[in-house]
Amino acid sequence: MSGKYITDRQIRLYMTFRKDCLQEIAAAKAGISISTAGRIDNERHQLKQSKVRQRTRLDPLEPIWTPVVLPLLKQDPNITPIGIFDHLCEYHSDTFSSTSRRTLERRIKQWRHLHGEAKDVVFMQAHPLGKLGICDFTHIKSPVTIQSEAFKHMLFNYRLVASGWVYTQVTYGGESFAAFSDGLQNAFTKSNGVPSEVRTDSLSAAYKNTGSAKDFTARYQELIGHYRFIATRNNTGVAHENGAIESPNRHIKAQIEQALKVRGSYDFNCRADYEAFVQATVNRRNKRIATQFKEEQRQLQALPSHKSVNYSQEYVRVSRTSTINVKRVMYTVPSRLVDSRLRVHVYDDHIDLFLGQALTCRLERVYAPGATRKRSVNYKHVIDALVKKPRAFRCSQWRDELLPSEDYCTIWQYVDTTMKADDASHYMVRILQLASKADNEMRLGRFITGQLASGRLPSLFDCQERFGTKPTDIPLVNVVQHQLSQYQSLIPGGRHE
């Protein structure tokens, strides 16, 4: 063993083996000499003295560190190493080389650890069961489409912090109060209870953001009173205070996006299909914490007997064009409502139309971003009036929007080029009427386009025979003729012969 240094590991091995073995055996197992083992036993063994690492080259920061860098670091604690580096390259290139960037960054980091200001500390929180529910809005980055058209939407995400149970809802109108209220109330219903405290960020739909801790909007104040929870919010711009929802936001988004990749397509037939897909993904996540959720569910406050208001209300009058205007969007309504005054309940995903207390119509809500305007046209609302004057179809401002699908656009292009103007309008309007009455819109469109592909346009009679409503058979009624003598018995005091 002469000429070799004894390592700390060898000494520890020797001390371990020495408990059960003789000195010679323990020394052999540890790879040391018997004399060294004797010195260890007598506590006379001296450990190797490590050499102090000496600088092998001149300090490249010495000329500029004290006179230039330190004053900048003390002047502003938020100045970055890159900012100082750019300054040195620009104004002190004679004493500082740009190749010393990494040395500068390490030296600044070390100085801030030794002499810098105190940093923020994240304090882990304890969350009692049933105490805190936290919610936020988030976006999905994947290019989700509905029938190949871009689908603009957000996700409302609610979480019971103690158990980790999550409720996610697709919303369409941004961070509006209707979306917030509807999502929060549906989350309460789904969890079958209300936590003691609900925390959000500084949503303009819930807070006036005037600086006061309780500057609630009137509608949010009503929601708080109805469900009897304490409303709190995290400080503006301090994301980690909302960490109990920010991290789950990332997780649920990642899970949905991975599920979309596994599905192999980002396209859905309708909103309902996409909503069901999101809900199924969230349900799979919640199964993992079912036991914890049941424990927390028992600590939640009871739900009130009915929901609070989760819509805004407007009054509109139906114009002679059978349309109304709500939130910069023109909607067609059934023509029977022309000249009536309606009460409109505006929800996040739909609007309800009331005539008096009667719900007359429900329409899918459309959003007009910014200061733009949009139209939502449904041919079924005006087809009965259009049948009476089919020529109006050709030059209608809504003509292309009255056609419900690509199949009907193809039919119109064909008849418009092969038939007289009046005949083409008459044919198209009658086809649309048949599609609305028989409720065979898709089948009828596919049938006609299929016939066109073979070079034949089916007549209105053929379409009526195939897709029209079949008259019901007249039932056979057997009528029994009574004898005249039987009627005599009905006359009191009459003669009976």
The reply to whether 183 and 282 lie within a common domain is yes
**The two structure tokens encoding residue 335:** 């023509």
The reply to whether 91 and 198 lie within a common domain is no
* Long-range contacts of 143-149, Cβ-Cβ distance < 8 Å, separation of 24 or more: 143/266, 144/260, 144/266, 144/267, 144/268, 144/274, 145/266, 145/267, 145/268, 146/267, 146/268, 146/269, 146/270, 146/271, 146/274, 147/267, 147/268, 147/269, 147/270, 148/267
pLDDT band at 236 (very low <50, low <70, confident <90, very high): low
The reply to whether 1 and 78 lie within a common domain is no
Residue 167 belongs to some domain of the structure: yes
Is the Cβ–Cβ distance between 348 and 182 less than 8 Å? yes
- Helix, coil or strand: residue 493: coil
Q: What is the mean pLDDT of residues 203-212?
A: 69
Which residue range forms the structural domain that includes residue 419?
Answer: 380-467
pLDDT reported for residue 268: 93
Please tell me the distance from the alpha carbon of residue 106 to that of residue 412, in angstroms, as a whole number: 72
Q: What is the mean pLDDT of residues 207-214?
A: 63
214 compared with 184, residue with greater pLDDT: 184
Q: What is the mean pLDDT of residues 59-74?
A: 92
The reply to whether 17 and 67 lie within a common domain is no
Is the Cβ–Cβ distance between 182 and 354 less than 8 Å? no
Residue 479 belongs to some domain of the structure: no
Pair type for strands 154-160 and 149-150: unpaired
pLDDT reported for residue 211: 56
The reply to whether 216 and 81 lie within a common domain is no
CA trace torsion 181, 184, 190, 195 (10° rounding): -130
Q: Tell me the pTM.
A: 0.64
pLDDT band at 173 (very low <50, low <70, confident <90, very high): confident
Q: What is the pLDDT of residues 299-327, one digit of tens each?
A: 999 999 888 888 888 999 999 999 999 99
pLDDT reported for residue 1: 46
359 compared with 466, residue with greater pLDDT: 359
pLDDT reported for residue 82: 95
Please tell me the distance from the alpha carbon of residue 412 to that of residue 414, in angstroms, as a whole number: 5
| Per-residue pLDDT at 212 exceeds 60 | no
Q: What is the mean pLDDT of residues 181-203?
A: 90
The reply to whether 334 and 398 lie within a common domain is no
Residue 489 belongs to some domain of the structure: no
Q: What is the pLDDT of residues 108-139, one digit of tens each?
A: 999 999 999 988 887 777 788 999 999 888 88
pLDDT band at 237 (very low <50, low <70, confident <90, very high): low
- Helix, coil or strand: residue 317: strand
Which among 74, 91, 120 has a CA at the least distance from the CA of 241? Answer: 120
